[in-house]
């Protein structure tokens, strides 16, 4: 009989509309509009009291001008933009450049600029990553033998020009040290979450124990 | 003397919302009836096979993500299966279980996309698409936990996986497995007995089993025609031989059967994942292999049952760090070859329904 399908469909639609477990989640992004109830709940007072205390903010909330910053929740393993790079850990071996399927990493080193003792390390002059062509496969991170390069956690890198997408060494030095835990089990063991966590120091980011400055000094003294 | 009428030739696509990408159908109509049809493809050709010849074996995994971008996990598995055959690489057992879990999740996700778009092409604007994509979101979230990406996963490596599943993956997976049968019931209640869907899809685009076998059609389209052929049973790879599941087959091979077979396959996939979660052993997920691996000279063909059919990779090695030749047998491409036989003689309104029921992915057709 024609028509029963529509009734069944309406029943399911109604169920999805009313049951809280089946509701569609709506993410207003990056600014989420909030109402008076949310503001009052956040300030932890009665909504009526809140309206009396902040009439200006309440009116703004009613006409939809009060917003909070909302971010899509991401898993710590999310392979995001803004590579996290630790200059102290990097030896300039260019494994990442070699492993990159697209060849978008360029590294220029100079042998004289030793920052670490015993000549274990090249000074790095150029470290360019063209994230305009990067597909975030993470092979460079997988390749890095010293855990110097990590994937980042952001995904909001919109620019107007392609050359602004080329990350150079200064930007890598200055960028926030919030690495993704992808292929970095040592960060996962600490249950580190780049979304809420703090910046990670270069001594904590590696798989191996790094010598303290005292140890290094002792090593030098012995020799 | 009556006025002479002429057939009308129309270009459907390449930029058409119903062609799942850039695909062009040159259709000749006589009124409402389709009298000739010529599929034209190649608009999305990226030269994956040629690109693979100058990448190392591990780097090619990233290329396979982009073949069938709705089932990247299956593509990864197809490639590494061929490579492991070629190099004789042993895979740890835990890695095999995780591979099967991720591949079956991908199968559910891919079939959900099919269901949504199939109903979209029947005219339900975006209602079904939203229902299906809500469920699919949860699978993509699980993929994000596993490998940090949602679509282009690059999760598998020759000899295992990139890394083990995180600790919060298992509770999320169990939650999903509990909810998924209910979701499928809901989809079935919405679609399967709906009179409009039935009248639009029953006895439309019938494909006979003999014709399907001759044209080497594979996957749900072949099974909808009533042929019980599934590589997971016929030539078990990974740990499918230990799994208990059934192969749903259709009765007549029309568009409705192609839909119902996929819906049943989702249920079977949930069953397989549940068994995997119960049985999964502890241990490592990766063998220590060289990044620049050099498999011995020779060739190997590895194939898996991807959501759209048999996905095969034929790799020829000359002993170097990159393959001499990498041929991809993509199911969508082979399945498209029977389009003309199915559509010609039908009505104009059936054209998009039949094409939609094939669930062709253009990234895979053109490679």
Q: Give me the residues paired with residue B310 across strands.
A: B305
Please give the pLDDT value at position A158: 81
Instruction: Decide: B226 and B207 in contact? Cβ < 8 Å.
Output: no
Mean pLDDT of B269-291: 85
Report how far residue A46's alpha carbon sits from residue A37's, in angstroms, rounded to the nearest whole number. 9
Q: Whole-model pTM above 0.90? A: no
Shortest CA distance from B183: residue in chain A: A22
User: B19 pLDDT band (50/70/90 cuts)?
Assistant: low
Please give the pLDDT value at position A121: 63
Report how far residue B211's alpha carbon sits from residue B180's, in angstroms, rounded to the nearest whole number. 35
Count of CA atoms in the C-beta half-sphere (13 A) of B153: 31
CATH topology of domain B49-358: Cytochrome-c3 Hydrogenase; chain B (1.10.645)
Taking all residues of chain B, what is their mean pLDDT, rounded to a whole number? 87
| Range among A11-25, A37-51, A103-117, A161-175 with highest mean pLDDT value | A161-175
Residue B197 parent element (H or E):
helix B195-201
| Range among A17-31, A127-141, B7-21, B99-113 with highest mean pLDDT value | B99-113
Closest-CA distance of chain B to residue A121, Å = 23
Report how far residue B123's alpha carbon sits from residue B138's, in angstroms, rounded to the nearest whole number. 26
B306 φ, ψ (degrees, to nearest 5): -80, 165
Give the 3-state secondary structure of residue B347: strand
Model confidence at A79: pLDDT above 60: yes
The pLDDT tens digits of the residues spanning B221-279 come to 999 988 888 888 888 888 888 888 888 988 888 889 999 999 999 999 999 999 989 98
> Where does residue A72 rank: exposed (0-12), middle (13-18), buried (19+ CB within 10 A)?
exposed
Count of CA atoms in the C-beta half-sphere (13 A) of B246: 7
User: What residues of B are in the A interface, CB distance below 8 Å?
Assistant: 55, 58-59, 61-63, 130-131, 134, 141, 144-149, 152, 154, 162-163, 166, 186, 189-190, 193-197, 291
Closest-CA distance of chain B to residue A79, Å = 5
Domain ranges (residues) in chain B: 1-45, 49-358
DSSP 8-state class, residue A116:
S
Question: B131 and A183: CB-CB below 8 Å?
Answer: no
Please give the pLDDT value at position A45: 82
Share of chain A above pLDDT 70, in %: 85
- Look-up: residue for tokens 């031989």? B241
The pLDDT tens digits of the residues spanning A181-210 come to 888 888 888 888 887 778 887 777 777 665
Please give the pLDDT value at position A223: 42
The pLDDT tens digits of the residues spanning B43-69 come to 888 888 898 888 888 888 898 988 888
Alpha-carbon distances of B122 from B187, B221, B279, B340, rounded to whole Å:
15, 18, 41, 20
Q: Is the bond into A44 cis (omega within 30 degrees of 0)?
A: no
């Amino acid at each position: 009989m024609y028509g029963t399908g529509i009734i069944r469909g309406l029943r399911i639609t109604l169920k999805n509309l009313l049951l809280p477990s089946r509701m569609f989640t709506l993410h207003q992004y990056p600014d989420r509009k909030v109402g008076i109830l949310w503001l009052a709940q956040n300030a932890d007072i009665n909504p009526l009291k809140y309206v009396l205390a902040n009439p200006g903010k309440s009116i703004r909330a009613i006409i939809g001008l009060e917003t909070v910053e909302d971010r899509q929740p991401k898993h710590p393993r999310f392979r995001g933009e803004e590579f996290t790079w630790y200059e102290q850990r990097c030896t300039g071996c260019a494994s990442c450049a070699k492993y990159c399927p697209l060849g978008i990493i360029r590294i220029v080193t100079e042998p004289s600029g030793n920052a670490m003792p015993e000549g274990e390390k090249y000074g790095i002059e150029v470290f360019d990553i063209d994230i305009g062509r990067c597909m975030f496969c993470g092979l460079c991170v997988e390749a890095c033998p010293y855990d110097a390069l990590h994937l980042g956690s952001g995904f909001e890198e919109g620019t107007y020009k392609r050359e602004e997408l080329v990350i150079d060494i200064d930007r890598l030095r200055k960028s926030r040290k919030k690495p993704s835990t992808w292929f970095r089990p040592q960060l996962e063991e600490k249950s580190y979450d780049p979304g809420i966590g703090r910046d990670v120091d270069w001594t904590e980011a590696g798989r191996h124990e790094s010598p303290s400055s005292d140890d290094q000094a002792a090593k030098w003294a012995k020799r | 003397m009556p006025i002479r009428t002429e057939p009308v030739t129309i270009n459907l696509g390449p930029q058409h919302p119903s062609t799942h990408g850039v695909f062009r159908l040159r259709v000749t109509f006589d009124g409402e009836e389709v009298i000739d049809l010529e599929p034209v493809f190649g608009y999305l050709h990226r030269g994956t096979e040629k690109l693979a010849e100058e990448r190392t074996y591990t780097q090619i995994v990233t290329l396979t993500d982009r073949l069938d971008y709705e089932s990247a996990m299956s593509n990864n598995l197809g490639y590494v299966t061929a490579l492991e055959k070629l190099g004789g690489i042993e895979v740890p057992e835990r890695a095999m279980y995780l591979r099967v879990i991720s591949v079956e999740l991908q199968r559910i996700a891919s079939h959900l996309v099919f269901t949504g778009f199939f109903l979209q092409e029947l005219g339900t604007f975006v209602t079904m698409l939203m229902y299906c994509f809500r469920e699919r979101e949860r699978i993509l979230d699980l993929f994000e936990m596993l490998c940090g990406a949602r679509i282009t996963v690059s999760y598998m490596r020759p000899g295992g996986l990139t890394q083990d599943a995180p600790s919060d993956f298992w509770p999320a997976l169990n939650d999903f497995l509990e909810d998924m049968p209910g979701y499928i019931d809901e989809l079935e209640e919405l679609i399967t007995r709906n009179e409009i869907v039935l009248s639009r899809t029953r006895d439309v685009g019938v494909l006979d089993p003999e014709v399907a076998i001759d044209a080497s059609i594979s996957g749900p389209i072949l099974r909808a025609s009533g042929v019980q052929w599934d590589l997971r049973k016929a030539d078990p790879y990974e740990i499918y031989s230990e799994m208990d599941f059934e192969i749903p087959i259709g009765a007549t091979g029309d568009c409705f059967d192609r839909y119902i077979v996929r819906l049943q396959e989702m249920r079977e996939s949930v069953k397989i994942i549940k068994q995997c979660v119960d049985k999964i052993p502890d241990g490592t997920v990766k063998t220590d292999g060289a990044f620049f691996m050099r498999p011995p000279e020779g060739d190997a063909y590895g194939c898996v049952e991807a959501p759209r059919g048999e996905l095969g990779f034929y790799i020829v090695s000359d002993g170097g760090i990159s393959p001499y030749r990498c041929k991809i047998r993509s199911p969508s491409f082979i399945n498209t070859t029977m389009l003309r036989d199915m559509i010609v003689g039908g009505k104009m309104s059936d054209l998009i329904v039949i094409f939609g029921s094939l669930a062709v992915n253009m990234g895979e057709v053109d490679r």
